[in-house]
Amino acid sequence: MTQKEPGKPPLPPYELIRSDRRTLALEVTRDGRVLVRAPMRLAQTRIDSFVAQHVQWISRHLEVQRQRREARPEPAPAQQQELIEKAKTILPEKIARYSKIMGLYPTGLTITGARKRFGSCSAKNRICFSWRLMQYPDEAVDYVVVHELAHIKHKDHGKDFYACVEQVLPDWRKRRELLRE
């Protein structure tokens, strides 16, 4: 939806998602869509005003997503399968190695196609990793493995959690940055 008032730049196209929420929210997806989440009964003029106030933010994030797509294009199906096989080989070895060092053992391992998270640890200490992690340097993969193993002991991202990670990987900050490139 876009509307134009005289003397003002046009609103960027966006998809409106109404739900039982109380607030307005903006999201720019990896594929470059602008999503606006709004309360069910909020007036369209208020929504358009909100979008107009955030035009610069939207432009900035559209550009960031464009650069991300160019830097890491979606792999073809054959490449995806190769990355899945690589994850099934490499990740169990890394988990075994770091579990022994840290004394923390997951209850299971799942390889997923998650796009927004490289890894997660459930309340029952089952660890999931995205096969997309295999596109990153080995040092970054090690960081994600240690990060998720640390969640077995520390379920939050508090001081003790990062102390646990730092004990194994003193350069964890540098490794984490590799995931953002």
Q: What is the mean pLDDT of residues 107-123?
A: 94
pLDDT tens sequence across 54-74: 999 999 999 998 988 888 788
User: What's the mean per-residue pLDDT of the chain?
Assistant: 93
Question: For the chain, what are the domain ranges?
Answer: 15-71, 77-178
Candidates 3.30.2010.10, 3.90.320.10, 1.10.1520.10, 3.40.1280.10; CATH matching 77-178: 3.30.2010.10
pLDDT for 107 equals: 97
pLDDT tens sequence across 87-108: 999 999 999 999 999 999 999 9
Flag the least confident range among 17-21, 85-89, 113-117: 113-117
Flag the least confident range among 2-16, 75-89, 119-133: 2-16
Compute the distance between CA of residue 133 and CA of residue 55 in angstroms, rounded to an integer: 32
Percent of the chain past pLDDT 70, that is, above it, reads: 94
Contact at 8 Å (CB) between 26 and 5? no
Percent helix / strand / coil, the chain, rounded to 5:
50, 15, 35
